[in-house]
Structure 1
């Protein structure tokens, strides 16, 4: 497993505005899309391509196109949906699957309530979209679904993560072809399982239901 923390002033700036509790839902959604687009450049660095011949107005040259089977984007509902537009703008050729997972706030364990994925993911590169890597339960369950269906490698894009979540993923997939691309690696989890300093509940802030 590999972990890459983006080290870029634009990422840090946009993430700082996201963290601000005064940032309202419309601006929050726009910033998430922008951040995901930036992180997607790093996440797709090893995307498979096939050489093609291209006729320019001047000459013939060699270019590339995204290889088949096409990459699969998998937002974890609900907060991951807010990341989908940013990824699709960078990789419009991708296909999209969905996994719905809710965290039990008492046990902090993930509960799957929806799953819409191709039955056969053989040789697929998959990109999981999950804003917060906190305890790691939801992301771990989703990545396991993808490997069980035959995915060859999985990359997760997360805005922020706690060390505990990264450790969980390394424990579950340390010997697998998994990459985690982060906007920031934060300090820790609090007693309620929230990332500190974090940015609050990403789903609530995306959709305007935060108290």
Structure 2
């Protein structure tokens, strides 16, 4: 599996991530969502370089010209609810893509451990298509694994791009171990070294879903 960390190169990308992390900037949920959307657009642009292209004849007002255009069928899938702004950014660039949504979340147990509850999937067929599966935070990797396995009931993708803004080192290693290395690429914006006792990424940024949409009960 190829792991691509866009944050390792100096660019405006890191500015958007810095604002996501900053506790002062986080007080503005609209800006938090917008930065996730911007980051999704940058991921989409970078992913577009890996697609299959064919020349297509374009008629201009004056003449004709051949332009290389991608021919892949794309499905953008996101884990609710934190994935919605990131999904929007990806869809801004892949505006003809089909869409999938997965309800997968942590359910904490009395002993402090948690399990991943999977409740809902809305998805087209992903057979022989390019699947982009997005979740802003890749902590343990368990939610991503459960969501991906659920998606496979809709077919076998040609290639899978996993997109996370911030990942833990443990989460990256888990995904590398569990996913098919031959047709999967993991895209991240940063890799943090620590997980807390409750398996939150540290330094991370907190709960992306709460910061984007407000705190929830339970």
TM-score (norm 1): 0.91
Q: Matches of 1:181 and 1:108 in 2, distance apart?
A: 26
Which residue in the other structure is 2:78 paired with?
75
Which whole-Å deviations, capped at 9, do the CAs of 1:107-156 have from their partners, x for residues lacking one? 333211111112x3221100011000000011112222334421121101
Structure 1, unpaired ranges of 5+: none
Contact 2:137-2:165 at 8 Å conserved across structures:
yes
Is 1:110 paired with 2:113?
A: no
Is 1:98 paired with 2:104?
A: no
Q: Matches of 1:8 and 1:58 in 2, distance apart?
A: 40
Contact 2:121-2:150 at 8 Å conserved across structures:
no
Q: How does 1:9-158 map to 2 (within 5 A)?
A: 9-23=11-25, 24-67=28-71, 70-106=73-109, 107-118=113-124, 120-148=125-153, 149-158=155-164
Q: Matches of 1:182 and 1:210 in 2, distance apart?
A: 26
Instruction: Please state how far the C-alpha of 1:210 moved relative to its aligned partner.
Output: 7.4
Q: Matches of 2:143 and 2:48 in 1, distance apart?
A: 22
SS of aligned partner of 2:161 = strand
Q: What do you get for the CA RMSD once the two structures are aligned? A: 1.8
Structure 2, unpaired ranges of 5+: none
Instruction: Please state how far the C-alpha of 1:41 moved relative to its aligned partner.
Output: 1.4
SS of aligned partner of 1:169 = helix
Instruction: Please state how far the C-alpha of 1:52 moved relative to its aligned partner.
Output: 1.2
Which whole-Å deviations, capped at 9, do the CAs of 1:14-64 have from their partners, x for residues lacking one? 111110112221111111111111122122221233321112234322113
Q: Matches of 1:38 and 1:173 in 2, distance apart?
A: 24
Q: Matches of 2:165 and 2:175 in 1, distance apart?
A: 16
Which whole-Å deviations, capped at 9, do the CAs of 1:151-196 have from their partners, x for residues lacking one? 1211011110001001110110153411111111112211110001
TM-score (norm 2): 0.89
Q: Matches of 1:155 and 1:109 in 2, distance apart?
A: 25
